[in-house]
Amino acid sequence: MTNAPRTPNAPRTPAAARAPLPAATPVGYPRIGPDRELKKAEEAYWSGRIDRAEFARRTRALRDETRARLAELGLTGPAAIPETFSLYDQVLDAALAVGIVPDRFADVLGADGASSADGTIDLDGYFALARGTAEQPPLEMTKWFDTNYHYLVPEIGPDTDLHIASTQVIDLFRESLEGGADAAARPVLVGPLTLLLLAKAQDGAPAGFDPLDRLDDVVAVYAELLARLHEAGATWVQLDEPALAADQRIDPQGLAALLERAEGRLASAEDRPQILVTTPYGGIGDLLPGLIATGVEAVHLDLTRGEIPSATQLAGVGRTVIAAGLVEGRSVWRTELPTAAARLALLRERVAEAGGDPGAVVVSTSVSLQHVPHTLERETDLPADLRATLAFADEKIAEIVALAGSTVVPGSVDGPRSVPRDFAGVRRNDVRERTAGLTAADLERSAFEVRGAAQQSRLGLPVLPTTTIGSFPQVAGVRRARADHRAGRIDDAAYEQAMREEIRRVVALQEELGLDVLVHGEPERNDMVQYFAEHLDGFATTAHGWVQSYGSRCTRPSILFGDVSRPAPITVGWSTFAQSLTDKPVKGMLTGPVTILAWSFVRDDQSLGETADQVALALRDEITDLEAAGIGIVQVDEPALRELLPLRASDQDDYLRWSVDSFRLATSGAADATQIHTHLCYSEFNEVVDAIDALGADVTSIEAARSRGEILEALDPERFSRGIGPGVWDIHSPRVPATEEIRSQLSAALDRVGEGRLWANPDCGLKTRGYEETTESLRHLVEAARTVRERAAREGAGLPVG
């Protein structure tokens, strides 16, 4: 295929394919099913309870119900429904659509009998990449932009054989046609540029290889897919390019050039559906003219995070359709429609000013609705006044349909973006007085050296102390007791009894293993954020509000709608009970303000920093109560610190300031002799190491098992000066690490950071592990720490080592 010359905006597509883009259409829709049907089908299939045919039947039924539901909500006509179903992950789907399968998985290609070079992936091959096999770990999983959704990282090399390895996007389109021509879906794929910007070089790729080196090859396969979709009768295809909304390793000029090479080349193809390029998760600023100039028929803009473009930015808009993402797709707040209608009118004016057709503006969501639950309809237990201000996926679709229908009377463009919330609990004077009275002194503790001495004389810990991250395996009995208690099948006393038994068991096990700092094991927590949300004022929890976190994994985020305060101590009873069972120190266990915000749906009527401070004060009071009850170590987990980092470098300083401050506010009320720990679990430690240092925790444990070298690098005493526990057991895998393996990691870390600062711990909580592997692994960890400790003691005493 050659890059044929073309006139921007001249229709090149045949008449049949020139159907207009529907006036209202979302970027995407949840795919897990209102009752988590996808998760249930997957788990049944993986465990062998159902076969492939039954799995196919169930997932087909889910898609049919989804299509029927969306049509009912007003998404009718060809291309109105974006086909965003995925069996696991949309990035994996796009990678397979163009054949990005790493060499280490070569054997899953061609499972259908074709040669591996042009083979296709079958269902088990697909899940092998997503979940790993006995021989191969799965593709790495990481967070999708600044959300809590995780995608699978494609691995590509200079010789990866690119070809259509999965026809799913075509198959699903054909499937939609079975509902009649009017039900024809709009096929959706992650776009070529985003796909390669999110990909990494496969192991063994030559130094200097960048996945973007394969852009032209990848685009050629997209062109082939587009041709096949066109042939199948698709009038529109959607290419998602969220990478345009984030700062990338290449500058904006470079990005614009790549856009022209990718989307421009696709647009110049003859046989293709019309192309809608979406740019969710933020504004794309000055990349817009370049995107318009590629000649794609429609461009979607996130107008909740991004501004309404100026006429200059819309230069050349001509016949290009603008899909206005006016309804926030990742929050649960109901859109204030008059404001959105006014913004829509302003956009139309700007389009007209730029010489375009104002009538060609359609209404959309800012991002895919995959980040919100299916429907509010079933949440009948929510307080009515709160419920009246909420919108989940279905309700948001109704909003875009309403905005497109021109029945909404426009208000002011500067009006509130969401329906104002003004009912009991939203604003509390007592909470506001406290945050207003905060001063810089509230964020300060004494010097680290002073605290360190006080803590050491109180705790008397050995060199290289051993500990865990907090949770212990959540065995069936514990989960059942929690569920029974919630459902009222057992009373408070029976529940308390069951939890205490578990705590007793966990403490006894840790004593037997010889750990130095113990935990109570967190059996009472369903989830580290929801547990606190349930015990703080200002939050509401849903009954069915599930959201996909990755694959079959779903979470039920709480809704933070009002001023946060703590009606009563939350964790003190469990921690002090555990402490009463042992002479070793028991670590109190709290979730930090940033993580509580990141994993909840947060109010949009004040800054995140202000909300974080309210949460921080509640945690600060909890720490005071823990101290008063005799707890000498408190861990405040912040695993989401990196996740909320803004996508634009220019916004990052402000974020790091308020997030670090909220942690300091939560922890700075602690006495010198109280040791504050924190835990972070992601591997991009280097990116935020200065912020981690600024948290000021006495001890920080981090996930390190998967990127050891890098972490050791970052543990430069110049940059990070306090206690540190690089995880030495990767708890994400059932593998038991050998004592020697842990010992060598600890030795290397000790050489780097020196004794007195190093801790030995797993890299995350043990909640998802079994007892057998946990016991064995922790035994190895304690043994390894002892050996290294002895070495250090001999060295210290000037004795021969080795």
Cβ proximity to Zn ion: between 191 and 470 the closer is 470
**Tokens encoding 380:** 């009948």
CB of 645 to Zn ion, least distance (A): 17
> Residues 589, 598, 608, 695: which binds ligand GLN (CB under 6 A)?
589
SS3 category, 679: strand
Q: Residues 216 to 245: which contact Zn ion by CB under 5 A?
A: none
Q: Does 506 bind ligand GLN (CB under 6 A)?
A: no
Instruction: List the one residue from 639, 725, 727, 737 that touches ligand GLN (CB under 6 A).
Output: 639
Does residue 593 touch ligand GLN according to CB under 6 A? no
Two tokens, residue 546 = 């599930």
Name 760's bridge partners. 466
Q: What is the 3-state secondary structure (H, E, C) of 683-746?
A: CCHHHHHHHHHHHCCCEEEECCCCCHHHHHHHCCCCCCCCEEEECCCCCCCCCCCCHHHHHHHH
CA distance 588 to 711: 26
Residues 468-487 contacting ligand GLN, CB under 6 A:
469-471
Whether 732 is a known active-site residue: answer: yes
119 binds, among ligand GLN, Zn ion, none (CB under 5 to 8 A by kind): none
Interatomic CA distance for residues 720 and 656, integer angstroms = 16
Q: Tell me how far, at minimum, the Cβ of 469 lies from ligand GLN, in Å.
A: 4
d(CA 376, CA 388): 10
Residue 510 in the binding site for ligand GLN (CB under 6 A): no
Q: Which of 384, 430, 383 is nearest to 564 (CA)?
A: 430
Stretch that binds Zn ion, among 336-344, 412-420, 503-511, 763-771 (CB under 5 A): 763-771
Report the residue number, 306 or 639, with the smaller CB distance to Zn ion.
639
Among residue numbers 753 through 782, which ones bind ligand GLN (CB under 6 A)?
764-765, 767
- Residue from 681, 697, 724, 782 touching Zn ion (CB under 5 A): that is 681
- Please report where in the chains the tokens 């020139």 appear, as a residue: 18
DSSP assignment letter at 603: P
Q: Which amino acid is at 121?
A: I
Looking at the Cβ atoms of 682 and 720, the one nearer to ligand GLN is 682
Question: How many CB atoms neighbour CB 208 within 10 A?
Answer: 7
Binds 205, which of Zn ion, ligand GLN, none (CB < 5 to 8 A, cut-off by type)? none
- Least distance (Å) from ligand GLN to the CB of residue 503? 14
Q: Site mask, Zn ion, residues 621-640, x = CB under 5 A?
A: ------------------x-
Residue 642 Cβ vs ligand GLN, minimum distance, rounded to whole Å: 12
Closest distance to Zn ion from the beta carbon of 769 (Å): 13
Separation of alpha carbons 459 and 145, rounded Å: 41
We find the least distance from the C-beta atom of residue 702 to ligand GLN, in angstroms, to be 10
| Alpha-carbon torsion (95, 97, 98, 103), positive or negative | positive
Nearest alpha-carbon partner for 626 in 582, 663, 670: 670
Q: Which stretch binds Zn ion (CB under 5 A): 83-91, 343-351, 356-364, 762-770?
A: 762-770
Distances (CA, A) of 73 to 37, 63, 178, 344, 709: 20, 15, 19, 21, 52
Whose Cβ is closer to Zn ion: residue 540's or residue 633's?
633
For Zn ion, which is the closer residue by CB, 344 or 764?
764
Spatial distance between the Cα atoms of 760 and 777, rounded to a whole number of angstroms: 12
Phi, psi for 7 (deg, rounded to 5): -100, 125
Stretch of 161-169, 463-471, 493-501, 532-540 lying at the interface with ligand GLN (CB under 6 A): 463-471
33 in Cβ contact with 375 (< 8 Å): no
Site stretch for ligand GLN (CB under 6 A), options 30-38, 239-247, 465-473, 608-616: 465-473
- For Zn ion (CB under 5 A), the number of binding residues is 3
Taken as a whole, the chain contains a residue count of 802
Q: Which stretch binds ligand GLN (CB under 6 A): 87-95, 184-192, 384-392, 466-474?
A: 466-474
Interaction partner, residue 632 (Zn ion, ligand GLN, none; CB < 5-8 Å by kind): none
* Burial class of residue 129 (count of CB atoms within 10 Å of its CB; 0-12, 13-18, 19+): buried
Interacting partner of 548 out of Zn ion, ligand GLN, none (Cβ under 5 to 8 A depending on kind): none
Catalytic residue among 300, 520, 679, 732: 732
Residue 528 is a binding residue for ligand GLN (CB under 6 A): yes
Candidate residues 524, 637, 643, 730; the one interacting with ligand GLN per rule CB under 6 A = 637
The C-alpha angle with vertex 29 and arms to 26 and 31, in degrees rounded to 5, equals: 165
**Which residue number, 369 or 636, has a Cβ lying nearer to ligand GLN?**
636
Question: Residue 511 Cβ, how far from Zn ion at the closest point, in Å?
Answer: 24
Residue among 236 and 685 whose Cβ is closer to ligand GLN: 685
- 764 near Zn ion (CB under 5 A): yes
Nearer to ligand GLN, 522 or 524 (CB): 522
- The angle formed by the CA atoms of residues 151, 157 and 162, to the nearest 5 degrees, is 80
Question: Of 31, 265, 679, 722, which lies in the binding site for ligand GLN, with binding defined by CB under 6 A?
Answer: 679
- The encoded tokens of residue 52 equal 């492939």
- Minimum CB separation from ligand GLN for residue 704, in Å? 13
Distance, CA of 120 to chain centre: 29
DSSP-assigned letters across all residues of 18-76: -PPPPSB--S----S-TT-HHHHHHHHHHTTSS-HHHHHHHHHHHHHHHHHHHHHTT--
Contacts with ligand GLN: how many residues (CB under 6 A)?
Answer: 13
The least distance separating Zn ion from the CB of residue 764, rounded to whole angstroms, comes to 3
Q: Which of 23, 400, 481, 681 contacts ligand GLN by CB under 6 A?
A: 681
CB atoms closer than 10 angstroms to residue 305: 20
Q: Do the Cβ atoms of 232 and 178 come closer than 8 Å? A: no
In whole angstroms, the minimum distance from the beta carbon of 795 to ligand GLN comes to: 33
Name the residues annotated as catalytic: 732
- Binding residues vs Zn ion (CB under 5 A): 639, 681, 764
- Binding residues vs ligand GLN (CB under 6 A): 469-471, 522, 528, 589, 637, 639, 679, 681, 764-765, 767
